[in-house]
C-alpha cells in the first residue's frame, strides 16, 4: 500500500459525459501528479500540482482539467468524453514539488479504470 | 523534449539473470528511475540513479552512463513474481517522462 488513495476504482460512462476522479496523496506529500495509461501505452504525464498550485503540464487535453484543494487532495475532471479516453488514470504523490530534480520518488495510487462506451 | 527507448518484451528463465536496457535522449537530466508494474496495478519504485555507475539493491541493480544516455536494470535470481513490466523514466525539467516499458515474462 503506497498510502495514495484514488476513487472510484472503476468508472463506466458514455461518450459526451463528464466524470471526476479523486486522489488523496500520502500524508506529508505536497505534490500530486496525474497520469493516463492506455492499453499497451506508457504512462503519459498529464499535470502536476504542488501545494495547491499548478506546477507542470504535460499532454493534457483541453477537455481535461485538474485542481488541488487546500487539504491537498486533487481532482481530475474529464469532460466531453470520447471512446479514446478509456484508460487507467493514475495519481502519484511526492514530498517535493520538483519532479525532475534530485531524489523525488513518486508513490502511485491504485488507479481508476475509466471505460467510455 | 524526452525520448526513451526500451525493448517491448523479454523472456527469461526462473533463477537466471536478465538485463533490461534503456536509452534516452533528453534536453535536461535530473536522474533516471526504474519502476515495476504488474498488469493492472500501480507502478512501484525500484531504483534511482543520478550519477554514473551501479546502484545495487538486493536482487536488483541499476546502472547509468550519462554520457551515453544509457541505463540498464539487472535482475538476478529471477522469480516467477518478477514477471511484470519494467518502466524506465527520466527526470527532466519539472517532470518525469516514462518509457513505454519492457514486459518481462519469467518462465519455469
- A108 vs B: CB within 8 A: yes
The pLDDT confidence band at residue A96, using thresholds 50, 70 and 90, is confident
The pLDDT confidence band at residue B26, using thresholds 50, 70 and 90, is confident
Q: Please judge whether A99 and B91 are an interchain contact, meaning their C-beta atoms are less than 8 angstroms apart.
A: yes
B1 to A17, A23, A75, B99: CA distances (angstroms): 33, 28, 27, 13
The pLDDT confidence band at residue A99, using thresholds 50, 70 and 90, is low
Q: Would the pLDDT of A117 be above 80?
A: yes
Average pLDDT over residues A11-15: 97
Question: How high is the pLDDT of residue A11?
Answer: 97
B91–chain A nearest CA distance, Å: 4
pLDDT in tens, B54-65: 999 899 999 999
Three-state SS annotation for B28-88? CCCCEEEEEECCCCCCEEEEEECCCEEEEECCEEEEEECCCCEEEEEECCCCHHHCEEEEE
Q: From the candidates B95, B97, B98, B102, which should be mutated to test the interface with A, based on the most A CB atoms within 10 A?
A: B95
Q: Please judge whether A103 and B44 are an interchain contact, meaning their C-beta atoms are less than 8 angstroms apart.
A: no
Residues linked to residue A93 through DSSP beta bridges, in sequence order: A32, A107
Question: How high is the pLDDT of residue A100?
Answer: 52
Show the cell assigned to A48. 502536476
Q: Please judge whether A106 and B28 are an interchain contact, meaning their C-beta atoms are less than 8 angstroms apart.
A: no
Distance (Å, whole) CA A30 – CA A72: 7
Q: From the candidates B6, B8, B38, B42, which should be mutated to test the interface with A, based on the most A CB atoms within 10 A?
A: B42
Question: How high is the pLDDT of residue B1?
Answer: 63
Amino acid at each position: 500500500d503506497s498510502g495514495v488513495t484514488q476513487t472510484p476504482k472503476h468508472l463506466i460512462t458514455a461518450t459526451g459525459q463528464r466524470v471526476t476522479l479523486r486522489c488523496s496523496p500520502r500524508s506529508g506529500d505536497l505534490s500530486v501528479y496525474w497520469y493516463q495509461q492506455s492499453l499497451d501505452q506508457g504512462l503519459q504525464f498529464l499535470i502536476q500540482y504542488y501545494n495547491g498550485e499548478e506546477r507542470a503540464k504535460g499532454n493534457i487535453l483541453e477537455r481535461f482539467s485538474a485542481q488541488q484543494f487546500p487539504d491537498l487532495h486533487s481532482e481530475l475532471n474529464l469532460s466531453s468524453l470520447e471512446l479514446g479516453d478509456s484508460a487507467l488514470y493514475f495519481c502519484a504523490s511526492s514530498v517535493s514539488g520538483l519532479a525532475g530534480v534530485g531524489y523525488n520518488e513518486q508513490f502511485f495510487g491504485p488507479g481508476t479504470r475509466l471505460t467510455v462506451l | 523534449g524526452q525520448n526513451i527507448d526500451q525493448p517491448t518484451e523479454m523472456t527469461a528463465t526462473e533463477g537466471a539473470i536478465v538485463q533490461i536496457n534503456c536509452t534516452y535522449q533528453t534536453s535536461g537530466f535530473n536522474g533516471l528511475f526504474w519502476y515495476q508494474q504488474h498488469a493492472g496495478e500501480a507502478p512501484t519504485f525500484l531504483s534511482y540513479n543520478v550519477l554514473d555507475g551501479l546502484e545495487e539493491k538486493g536482487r536488483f541493480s541499476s546502472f547509468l552512463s550519462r554520457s551515453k544516455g544509457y541505463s540498464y536494470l539487472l535482475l538476478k535470481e529471477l522469480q516467477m513474481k518478477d514477471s511484470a513490466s519494467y518502466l524506465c523514466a527520466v527526470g527532466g525539467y519539472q517532470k518525469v517522462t516514462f518509457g513505454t516499458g519492457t514486459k518481462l515474462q519469467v518462465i519455469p
